[in-house]
Amino acid sequence: MVILTHHTGESHSILGAQVAATYITRRLNIRSMVVGVKRGFSRDHLVEFLDEHYREQAKIICFSHLCGRKDLVDLIGLLKERGFRTVLGGPQAAQDFIGEDEVDTYPLRFRGLKGVIDMAFSGPIDFLTRDHLVSHQGCLRFPWKRDIFLEVDWSNLYIFSDKIERLAVEVGQVFNVIGCPYAKKRRVLLLDPPGFLGERGFSLNVETCGCTFCDVARDKGFHGYVDDAVLRAQIRSLPEKDGRKITFEMIDELPLGSLGRVLRDVDEEGIRLSRVDLVCRVNDINTHEELLGDILKLAKNKGIRIMFSSIGFESFSDRILKNFNKGITTADIVKCVTILRKMKRKFNDTLLYRTDEGANHGFIHPTPWDADDTAAEIESNIGIYQFFDDILPEHSIPLIIHHASYLGDWIRGIESKTDVRFKRDGTWIEWWAPPAPVRETI
């Protein structure tokens, strides 16, 4: 069986899909592989490959991590027409299957993938049965938990552009937590009037857990840390290169509290690491400066490099950070970068965080709250603190509003109170292009 997913073609793992394929192979006795589909792929060649691959087996095909790609959604429809049973899993599978509410009243809203997906599966792969995979119709939801199946066959990943190619994983991933720790903080946030409403704009309350734009945090929430033995088992199973484990990302946005213990534990087992990548929140660095120094000292002694591959700065404007519910200010960002620069001077070869070292930190622009004052604030902060030297990415990323994110609720709230209607681009909401003039109806 094939699990199709978005992939850039770089040598990194797709952990969720690879865990699913491993589970289906080992527990359900259905041999499975993951095929990462690059943008601009040859659809005809992919269909030819799938027809040949499924010639002597049941035509059940799975999709995961669509990444908002309309070409993958169109592919699902095509394969459905060609007699495949289609299954959707991964982040927001249930929400993408169901779609948005009140689509008859608001015809531009996303109607979901019910017409092309036979079964959507949401939750840990442990709950999936052979009967579900073969015959269940509709949406299955199961609760997340901390004790889940996390075995990975690292050889089950392929990529496709115009032909199938095995991908040798050079950057793996391991779970330290299930979900996002920040997502456990529920609050009601008053979002500022967006620029696209002009003078008729208004503030609107939105309930959020974690960052307002993060659809994954809403989908999964936070369910605690995996057992230390399970984490070590994941690291132990990673491929090796030159006598050390390949680079891996430890999935935990607040990693510093446990990283030192992890390094010591695997060292006691005789496991040699090469590099640990961290996707990290600003406040974790700010509150653990001394601990970070201890971790880097330990890593240096063991020949391990620590890379902050992505830190969620997202903006250099306090107003925009507030609307993102990041829980930080620009002053916090300045403190974080100051700590990293100081540590870099002391642990130059051990610590990696700079963009010219391969890091790609969050910077979201444009946003609905952009204005002359926010632009001036961002430009001033970038210049004064020389963020362009080490943390500013080559390109910013426009704010993406997935229909099932908390900002999706905000957009629907605006639609319900005005005559503004936003187009949808697949699972994304085109907030930047309202098709109708605004006439307030509150």
Q: What percentage of the chain's residues is helix, strand, coil (to nearest 5)?
A: 35, 20, 40
Q: Which helix H or strand E contains 341, and what residues bound it?
A: helix 330-346
Task: Give the pLDDT confidence score for residue 324 in this predicted structure.
Answer: 98
Domains of the chain: 2-169 (3.40.50), 173-402 (3.20.20)
Token pair of 124, please? 């840990």
Strand partners, 61: 2, 86
How far is 114 from 97, CA to CA, in rounded Å? 5
Nearest to 214 by CA among 184, 242, 177, 241: 184
How far is 304 from 291, CA to CA, in rounded Å? 16
Token pair of 153, please? 């066959």
Low pLDDT (below 70) residues in the chain: 434-442
Number of neighbours of residue 7 by Cβ within 10 angstroms: 25
Report DSSP state, residue 182. Answer: G
Q: Decide: helix, strand or coil at residue 304.
A: coil
How far is 352 from 310, CA to CA, in rounded Å? 11
Sequence-ordered strand ranges (E) for 233-346: 240-241, 244-245, 247-251, 275-280, 305-311
Task: Give the pLDDT confidence score for residue 217 in this predicted structure.
Answer: 83
Residues 330, 333, 337: CA angle, nearest 5 degrees: 145
End-to-end CA distance of the chain: 52
Task: Give the pLDDT confidence score for residue 136 in this predicted structure.
Answer: 98
Question: 209 near 183, Cβ under 8 Å?
Answer: yes
Give pLDDT tens digits for 404-432. Answer: 999 999 999 999 999 999 999 989 999 99
Question: 369 near 432, Cβ under 8 Å?
Answer: no
Q: HSE (CB half, 13 Å, CA atoms) of 279?
A: 16
Q: Decide: helix, strand or coil at residue 290.
A: helix
Token pair of 225, please? 């840390």
How far is 101 from 97, CA to CA, in rounded Å? 12
Q: HSE (CB half, 13 Å, CA atoms) of 205?
A: 3
Task: Give the pLDDT confidence score for residue 215 in this predicted structure.
Answer: 82
Give pLDDT tens digits for 139-191. Answer: 999 999 999 999 999 999 999 999 999 999 999 999 999 999 999 989 999 99
Report DSSP state, residue 161. Answer: S
Burial zone of 207 (CB within 10 Å; 0-12 exposed, 13-18 middle, 19+ buried): exposed
Measured in degrees and rounded to the nearest 5, phi and psi for residue 110 equal -70, 125
How far is 97 from 88, CA to CA, in rounded Å? 8
Task: Give the pLDDT confidence score for residue 437 in this predicted structure.
Answer: 53
Nearest to 5 by CA among 237, 168, 160, 150: 160
Token pair of 239, please? 């491929």
Token pair of 227, please? 């057992």
Question: 11 near 154, Cβ under 8 Å?
Answer: no
How far is 148 from 227, CA to CA, in rounded Å? 10
**Helix ranges (DSSP H) in 136-227:** 215-220
Task: Give the pLDDT confidence score for residue 440 in this predicted structure.
Answer: 44
Longest Cα pair distance anywhere in the chain, in angstroms? 67
Nearest to 286 by CA among 323, 247, 328: 328
Strand partners, 321: none
pTM for the full model? Answer: 0.95
Q: Per-residue b/e over 331-366, b at no fewer than 16 CB within 10 Å?
A: ebbbbbbebbbebbeebeebbbbbbeeebebbbbbe
Report DSSP state, residue 193. Answer: P
Task: Give the pLDDT confidence score for residue 435 in this predicted structure.
Answer: 58
**137-145 contacts, C-beta under 8 A, 24 or more apart:** 139/94, 139/97, 139/98, 141/94, 144/178, 144/179, 144/220, 144/221, 144/223, 145/178, 145/223
Task: Give the pLDDT confidence score for residue 433 in this predicted structure.
Answer: 85
